[in-house]
């Protein structure tokens, strides 16, 4: 009887340890260097676009499928957009998204990973210096980047994301963003 109890306890302990290694949760935050690509004219007026510096923050999970391969879904609040300048005026367009990237992580070493994956984003807010609310409510894009584990729990990431769908109802522009992140896995 003692052996059966001992085997059951060892089995439960091993299962709990395996589960902890296969699925981990964490948080991350960082800086966005965002811009919009595409049309450089509004109503026939030529404009210059400049990027904006903003932020992103949210939760992550890492699901280890193989020794050197994981899936990392994320739920982030991310602000993107651009500053537009004409010969006479300047205005800033800042879009706040609920972004859901799903990254495939290929570990090149134990700490260094290559990350690729799609991202769906839903527009939550639009702040701009003019009266037009013309952001589309959904955006789809692709991300690619690199990750590095500083310790077993602390990581840093660099990622570039490009929008594949238009970000505006009235102009042919797509979001692009370079993100630098730091995070903690529990």
Residue 129: half-sphere exposure toward Cβ, Cα within 13 Å:
10
Taking the mean position of all CA atoms in its chain, how far away is CA 41? 29
* pLDDT digit string (tens) for the chain, length 186 residues: 556 555 545 555 444 444 556 999 999 999 999 999 887 666 667 788 899 999 999 999 999 999 999 999 999 999 999 998 887 888 888 999 999 999 999 999 999 999 999 999 999 999 875 545 667 889 999 999 999 999 999 999 999 999 999 887 777 889 999 999 999 999
């Amino acid at each position: 009887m003692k052996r059966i109890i001992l085997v059951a306890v060892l089995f439960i302990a091993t299962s709990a340890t395996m589960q902890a290694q296969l699925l981990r949760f964490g948080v991350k935050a960082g800086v966005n260097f965002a811009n919009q690509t595409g049309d450089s004219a509004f109503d026939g007026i030529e404009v210059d676009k400049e990027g904006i510096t903003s932020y992103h923050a949210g939760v992550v999970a890492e699901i280890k499928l193989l020794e050197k391969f994981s899936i990392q879904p994320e739920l982030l609040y991310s602000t993107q957009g651009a500053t537009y300048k004409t010969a006479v005026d300047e205005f800033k367009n800042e879009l706040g998204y609920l972004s859901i990237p799903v990254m495939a992580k290929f570990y090149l070493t134990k700490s260094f990973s290559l990350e690729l994956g799609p991202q769906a984003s839903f527009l939550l807010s639009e702040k701009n210096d003019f009266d037009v609310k013309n952001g589309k409510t959904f955006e789809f894009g692709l991300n690619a980047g690199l990750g590095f584990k500083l310790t077993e729990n602390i990581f840093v990431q660099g990622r570039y994301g490009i929008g594949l769908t238009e970000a505006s109802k009235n102009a042919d522009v797509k979001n692009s963003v370079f993100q630098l992140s730091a995070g903690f896995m529990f």
